[in-house]
Structure 1
Amino acid sequence: MSTLDGLKLSTAKKPAHIPAVVFRRNKLSNKLWEQIQLAKSQIDGTQFVVKKFRSVVDKETGLRKQVEVPKRLREWWFKNEQGKMCVNIKYGTQMIELAKGKYSIEVDSASALIKALETVKQAVECGELDTQINNASVNVRKVFDK
């Protein structure tokens, strides 16, 4: 056991179910990471591609197989009338209300955009936007309940 002496051992087990709040928080955090990487790649002049798997039927054999395809990423930011960049934080198709009646963050430059997205990502991971995420999730589900 001398090899394991340098490690901190614990009795923790992986939970069987992740709470819905944590699942939604992680989902939004991953989307924010994609937006941060997309903004960084645009500043650097490179292309950022996220791959996903899609199931297709092979026409020759008729068998279903998994094919890796690029995921379509849309920018969450835009330029307003004054020429400043604004970014909306989205959960699915719903924009998250960051403060009463305010849905976007206004920044001066692309580097400030990255900092703003990273700040929002930290707030999401700390749980500061849990009620807004929950409200957006309820609104997204309403579309499917029709």
Structure 2
Amino acid sequence: MSALNNLKLVVSKKYTTVSPVVQRRNKLANKIHQQLELCEAKKQGQIYAPKKLKTFTNKQTGERMTVEVAKRVKEWFWVNDAGKINLAIKYGAKTLPLNKKGANAIELATGDELINTLKSIKVAVLNGELDDAITEASNATKAAFVK
């Protein structure tokens, strides 16, 4: 029992549902983390190819098989005509507006600056600074499915 005496014990309840705002925040934070991994792999001269499991049915035997395949990750950044790196933040297929004036990209000088910017944007997303833009993009996507 001496091991339990050293721990801080509390009464807690695990929530089975998460609010949609927090769910969207976490989704965007995970995508930003993938972009960070992609940038760091490019910096080291490696290829970033996360794996995912894909299940399919063999047409001849009818057997269901699960295989590990490379997941496609699109880059959110590109080099503009002036040689600067532009970074757009995406939620699904939509590019998020980053301010009230409608700016949709961040201009950066180097790859290291790109990595640092992605890290700071991830913190901003987790703090809820982009909640309005995420909700707007999510609602626009939902509205496209309504007939």
TM-score between the two structures when normalised by the length of structure 2:
0.94
CA distance in 2, matches of 1:52, 1:145: 30
CA distance in 2, matches of 1:63, 1:14: 38
1:1-146 maps to which residues of 2 (within 5 A)? 1-100=1-100, 101-146=102-147
CA distance in 1, matches of 2:144, 2:44: 38
Q: What's the offset of the Cα at 1:93? A: 0.5
The percent identity for this pair of structures is 41
TM-score between the two structures when normalised by the length of structure 1:
0.95
Aligned length: 146
Structure 1: gaps spanning 5 or more residues = none
Runs (4+) of structure 1 moved beyond 4 Å?
Answer: none
CA distance in 2, matches of 1:51, 1:69: 6
Cα displacement string for residues 41-90 of structure 1 (whole angstroms, at most 9, x for unaligned residues): 00000121211122211234203232221100110001112110000000
CA distance in 1, matches of 2:4, 2:72: 45
CA distance in 2, matches of 1:18, 1:64: 33
Q: Which stretch of structure 1 is more off in the superposition, 93-102 or 135-144?
A: 135-144
